[in-house]
Amino acid sequence: MSRIVLGVGASHSTLMNTNWDEVAHRDDARRFRAGLGEARELVEAARPDAVVVIGSNHFRGFFLDLMPAFTVGVAECVGSGESGTPGGPLPVDTDLARKLMWSLSDADFDAAFSLRLQVDHGITHALQYLLPDLDVPMVPVVMNMFAPPLPSLARCDAFGTVLRRAIESDGQDKRVLVVASGGLSHRLPWPKWFSAMSDDDRFLVEAWLNGRDSWKDYEVRRRQIIRAAEADINPEFDRRFLELLLEGDLSEIVAKSSAEIEEEAGNGAQEIRSWVAMSRALGAAKGRVLAYEPIDTWITGMAVAVLEPLPGT
């Protein structure tokens, strides 16, 4: 049977690509990037045959005309290529992806699937820094983390259980890496789609609804809005989350509602759903935090952590 050999959680920020010169002199930014480098070395040592990447989509592949809670890419997958992230066709492990879809269906998950999935940095940022050669086939899993109502944290936890079962029952002998992309605490200047008030709010909702064939037309103003936002990071929340992750028990977090997460750690913290699913898929594991830095310039609590399955699990 196939097995999970390593789990990695990594925050993402396209500002690390487009505005690195602004922070290259700062110790916190260098420490975070060094943490990604250490994680990349661990990935190389784990020799994965496939990688499952769980992340979000920032309205460059999914839009308000159709927003599934969970989507698995089972065939063609294309990176948007925004802000210096990988663009164009990405390799997909179609066999493992289809196995995951069947396992989700058998577990009464009504997940969507796509034979032509477009992903943005919610998936590709992790690939760029952990698997820069893009030579390991992946299974992209996109969770809705920005357009409420969101899948509950408990549902994302259950997704991790099904993912583990799918990998272990695929009839293959693959070494599988599971990557969680996104988080931790941060607050984006994004409105609720049902309560847009300011001109910027209405512009963003229009972009999220009508951008399927023209998302690039909205990019300049979108980035201006994000760059103008003040950082709202909660290091206490982040450090507690990482502590629980290493303890192997995220039940304290999973019990929280989406509203509680947003109030405590910002709407961007909803991306911890990917970490919750990854942790559950790993099961009993030993973990390390390779970096945690609340980087105001990137408006995000930036973390890198790894989980290694305990022998015999």
List the Cα angle 180/264/219 in 5-degree steps. 60
The answer to whether residue 262 is domain-embedded is yes
Alpha helices in the chain (DSSP H): 15-18, 20-23, 27-46, 94-106, 121-130, 153-168, 199-210, 219-227, 235-247, 251-254, 258-265, 272-282
Compute CA 244 distance to the chain's CA centroid, rounded to the nearest angstrom: 18
- Rounded CA gap, 289 and 305, in Å? 4
Indicate whether 313 pLDDT > 80.
no
3 state DSSP class of 195? coil
Residues 59-77 have pLDDT tens digits of 999 999 999 999 999 999 9
The answer to whether residue 208 is domain-embedded is no
Domain of residue 157: give its range. Answer: 3-188+229-309
The answer to whether residue 206 is domain-embedded is no
The answer to whether residue 210 is domain-embedded is no
- Rounded CA gap, 294 and 276, in Å? 20
Number of domains in the chain: 1
Residues 193, 207 contacting (CB under 8 angstroms): no
CATH number at residue 140: 3.40.830.10
Residue tagged active-site, from 12, 58, 125, 186: 186
The answer to whether residue 140 is domain-embedded is yes
Residue tagged active-site, from 12, 58, 121, 125: 121
**What pLDDT does residue 1 have?**
87
Query: Which pTM does this prediction carry?
Result: 0.96
Residue 25 designated active-site: no
Residues 136-149 have pLDDT tens digits of 999 999 999 999 99
- Rounded CA gap, 123 and 145, in Å? 13
The answer to whether residue 195 is domain-embedded is no
Residue 12 designated active-site: no
**What pLDDT does residue 308 have?**
97
The answer to whether residue 213 is domain-embedded is no
